[in-house]
Structure 1
Amino acid sequence: MAETDIFNPLDWQTSLDFNPNPAYMSELEPGSNSQILRPRLGGWFSRDLTNTGHSFSLQWNNLPLSIVQRIKQFYHSYKDGYFTLIDIDGGGRHYVGRFTNVPKSVQTANGKYSIQGLTFEEYPTARMVQYPSDFDNDGHSLYVADDNLRPRVALMQGAWAIQISPTAPAGSTASMPSALEAYDAAPVAGTDWAQMGYVGWGFSMTFRLGATLGVIDLYLDNVLLVSGLNLSSGAVTQLNAPAGTSPNGSTSLTVEVIDVPLDSHRIKIMANAASGAGKGILFPPVTYIY
């Protein structure tokens, strides 16, 4: 049953005679996905090399025997698979993974047991019942250039340039990564493209709209999600799952892609054949969930 098997369901009272949620002081640790290097001279360089998720170091104190049995059952049943753990106090976010070490129980009193140091680790590429979707609180900004103004967007084809977005706040300068966008003033349809990578779940991008802009296609991991996004009008020719769009008045359009499993992902923007002569295309900052 995989992701649909939930260790600590919200309605546990209807099927269990004990509360399966772990005790307080259980630690949540994000994965270390980046290799960070510093040369003899100069600043730091980093690159994502793995797609590790979060891990929990869990503990239960003074448990009835029934929950000890449930923990051991989930450990043995999902050695080669995964199940869902819900962070009840952390906004109810779902984590899909498995216990990675043998649960060891200690009897603390008559009919009471404790388990400490049991590790739950997320399983990359796993399906989920409920994917992370809170861009306001779980979202992280990924600008087209880093603080050293090195491009994060791989400018692979076309005359792309990093520039200040016309919609940036007044007083913005080229030294402010949050104010920048990647822009191709004269794209070749089906040829000019740029991409950016990240490790995590879904992402969101807000495109400015304007009369001088053309039409783009948006891909995730080389799968076409949005076909014919007209940056002049905000019209879209075709949306493929799991992408969705929402207009922000007549000045911008937000694309949200939510139902994406944990992995190393690549977002690609390509000039569409309907772009038209003299129409530019752009790659804005990305908000992604990890």
Structure 2
Amino acid sequence: MTGYAEGIIFFNFAADALLLFVTGKLSGRPLRLSRLLAASLAGTIPVWLYLAAGPTGLLNKSLTMVMPLFMIRIAFKTTGVTSLISMVLTFYLIVFLTGGILFGFQSMYTQYAAGGKWSLVFFFIMSVAISFYFIQRRLFNLNATRRTISQTVPVSFTLCGINWSGKGLIDTGNALCDPISKREVAICQINPHEQWPEALFKEDISDLLQLPDNWTEKLVWIPSKSIHAESRLLASFRTDNFTVWINGKERKTDRALVTFTDRALSNDQSFVCILHPNMVQE
């Protein structure tokens, strides 16, 4: 009985790890082995309770239903409610798809294999393989496109003695740059309660003239038609240094310009900066 119980727990652990891995791949989320294994281990809790106390009715069913929420949270550090629900739905979609295919295979095997009709079993296996190929190709192509458009990378810069760092979104639609020097502009979210000059949070651009001299020396006006207004001059600043990490490799430039906003750039705070695509070119 002990070996049987250990086999059930190990199978549940391995199945959860595989399902979480596929969920992360389809959702474009970074995967860490330690968090993936911890989430899979948490997924075995209902199995432990079932084996220890037997069927517990509503409690066991409720725990089984809500456990994917904790597993997704542990595996991918998902914080936003919308993102969490989206990933849980993706997880359940993969569970139902996998379970349906396994059930269909079992039914076909039970019905035809014993009678020697292996041609139908072979046809079923080929159908499943072909279906999986096209589903995987379609979903992963969409996911690859989404990651290309919405990839986030670590960003940091220094401006007038103030250090800023955070996640930057590579936005292929961002064409904001200085028309004279051709320097690209990054849009960065800042907090009024931090050490930034108060004039940066004023609506009237004339208030920027009250900035300290070391700030006005770095001020560059950029014509813009899409930042909170139909057409206006946008205040940007030359950074002392600007660093982007691409695939773990550090890329520095002294040509970057940054402009600021105190409005949230992402509802789930997955990024706090919008990068010009040229800033991350190798």
Taking structure 2 as the reference length, the TM-score comes to 0.26
Greater strand proportion:
1
Greater helix proportion:
2
Q: Which of structures 1 and 2 has the bigger CA Rg?
A: 2
